Structure 1
């Protein structure tokens, strides 16, 4: 390896090999690097309050946009004050469309509308931002199950990736 780009690619491949876990990685990526297995690829992001879900969604959206993908962000955290505004600002910064309803709206309805918009607009990926929750909060866990049912009504193989932040 004589060129800096060759070194960079070699390091990238080695790091990926070190971090790879057999059977991990969900169904998001196709056989070729940089291709999505489904269109739209549905990515559900979950985690506890304050763990950085929305910020990581923005980073993922930026990466996909940088690869030439059309990304839609679903503002399904309708519980936290300013969550919709925060995701909308990130969407604007990374040039990704955001599908949102009002605060307090049904997260399942937001997800349904985002998936419908993705189909109509030919989006490559839908990234779903959910409200932070602990597994002990029964009503929030049921809400998450409902979101999953809505997703699977649109595409039985989805979500293609669930990211726990």
Structure 2
């Protein structure tokens, strides 16, 4: 059975409110996890890796996807690419990225700050097995300037994610 991320109430679609929804989620479910806020943008894998001093693969990117008639979130390592054949088999049909305006509306987070925490809408969350290559990964935290450091297994547990294998091997 697929888990659903716990959502926060009253989430607005502005970046600051998005960060606050993540802060609220973590306070309620993982108060030991601190949000890292930087002055520099971490909206891309490359920028995030550079500013956090980690390998690009250690950045946990959250993809907002449409799988058939439903929206899902997929968290994968930053340097992995979605394997369309594997994704089609796992999700039961063609998978495509959501447009940016739909991403913000469904998740409550801006593109570049999307994460599975503090969502505006409960969504099925999947974690790609590629994340397990690292003891610690850095997903965004609701804004293009924030992230958290977390073990992949704990991330999946916190959001009730199902583990899947839908990415290509990292180059």
TM-score relative to the length of structure 1: 0.30
The structure whose residues are more often helix, as a share, is 1
TM-score relative to the length of structure 2: 0.29
